[in-house]
Structure 1
Amino acid sequence: MQITDIKSVSKTKFKVYLDGQFAFTLYKGELFRYRIQEDGELSEEVYQEIREKVVLKRAKLRAMHLLNDMDRTESQLRTKLLNGDYPADIADEAIAYVKSFGYINDESYIRRFIESRKNSKSKKEIYALLMKKGVDMERVREILSEYYSAEDSLNAIRDLLRKKRYDPKSATDQEMRKIYGYLARKGFGYEDIRQVIQINEWNT
């Protein structure tokens, strides 16, 4: 394989291209260690060693660090690794590695996400938020149906009204329209909103 290009990412970090295609990113010391220079040759043996002992090892450590930093879905982790200039197959191997230890599990992520928000957000709102996480939306629908009952939506509305300190007895028409609009934008149905406000249960 011919080393066709070496592009600087920073003073110490460089992208290496083999036969015109991006291969991996290495640090200056690694370029020196493996004698990588533009227009030079790279044997298959050295290429595989770099991938396994340098790039994949670094990708695994990076994946662990990213998960330690915050909870992520598989899709989010893959995007982070790809944005960090790890080749797609290396990113996949790193993800498989952390998954083998149970460090990443989309089903658990979905359940934790719902559990932490179900008392303050509507089913529709949580669904919309999870759409951005790159998870299986069919599974999201199934899990949401487990967690949400009609009473859960009413309870979430009650909690939001308490936080807003909304009192229908003293509210003006404008304030009432405003609170209806606020709750509707959060994905709650009109009948649920009307039921809670008219009964005034949250304010007892």
Structure 2
Amino acid sequence: MSHQVMSVVPLEKGKAGIRFDDGTEVVLYKGEIRKLGIEEGCVVTEAVYDKILNEILGKRAIKRAMHLLEKQDRTERQLYDKLKQNGYPESCIESAIAYVKSYHYIDDFRYASTYIRYHQEKKSRQKLKMELMAKGIGRDLVDAALEEEYVSDDQKKIAELLQKRHYSFEDADVSEQRKNYQFLLRRGFKSSDILHVMKQERQ
């Protein structure tokens, strides 16, 4: 089976984007393109096509994934998005993610657990859940991590945050109450918990 090159588009840093007739898009260095004899309109063999996807880009995607994880811990979704942004085709991204997962270089449960331990003193359970799901971690994994790691009492945390903000439960006027109420809502605390603490502390 052969594959026709539909377009070759110059990019930055000595690279070019190539689109094949099956819709696959790849990014190669111009030196690699010359060496493979690729130009717009040409037809490449299955062997050359496989070499591009597996030997060249497959290995490069793994190295890129490793480099990204050396800089910081990431969720599977974050790593996927970053590799996609770097121009790697779907098959290479899937292979790279499978590789790093096999060595536990990415572990969404571990990521969620660490995130919860680090942030739970300043954020509510619901806020943490929303943030972790926004990072692409599944609801079940997030719930399991929260069950294992979340130990803070939200109402106690609200009172502590208000004290840190030098909020006066006795003297705060309506404007100050509203300002701190909105601050706590943005942190993900329930309205009922916020109002309960403000009311109890004033008594």
Bucket of the pairwise TM-score, normalised by the shorter protein: 0.7 to 0.9
- What one-letter code is carried by the residue in structure 2 that aligns with 1:88? E
Is the contact made by 1:36 and 1:42 (CA closer than 8 Å) also made in structure 2?
A: yes
Retained in 1: the 8 A contact 2:62–2:99? yes
Report the CA distance shift for 1:185/1:26 in structure 2 as closer, same or farther (over 3 A).
closer
Give yes or no for contact 2:116–2:150 (8 Å, CA) kept in 1: no
Are residues 1:113 and 2:98 paired? Answer: no
* Contact 1:6-1:14 at 8 Å conserved across structures: yes
Deviations 1:110-162 (A, max 9, x none): 1111111111001111112122111111221233233345x521332133113
Q: Report the TM-score, using the length of structure 2 for normalisation.
A: 0.86
2:6 and 2:42 map into 1 onto residues whose CA distance is 8
Deviation at 1:190, TM superposition (A): 4.1
Report the alpha carbon displacement of residue 98 of structure 1 after superposing the two structures with TM. Answer: 1.1
Where does residue 190 of structure 2 map in the other structure? 189
TM-score by length of 1: 0.86
User: AA paired with 2:181?
Assistant: Y
Contact preservation (8 Å) 1:157, 1:183 = yes
User: Which of 82, 90, 93 is residue 91 of structure 1 equivalent to?
Assistant: 93
Give the aligned length: 199
- Match in the other structure for 2:157: 156
Q: Percent identity, aligned pairs only?
A: 37
Conserved 8 A contact 2:54-2:92? no
Root mean square deviation, CA, Å: 2.1
- When residues 52 and 155 of structure 1 are mapped into structure 2, their CA distance, relative to the original with a 3 A threshold, is same
Q: In structure 2, what is the equivalent of residue 131 of structure 1? A: 133
Task: Provide, for residues 93-113 of structure 1, a one-character-per-residue CA deviation record: whole Å limited to 9, x for no partner.
Answer: 011111122110000011111
Task: Kindly indicate whether the alpha-carbon contact (under 8 Å) linking 1:13 and 1:27 is maintained by their aligned counterparts in 2.
Answer: yes
Distance (Å, rounded) in 1 between the aligned partners of 2:179 and 2:41: 67
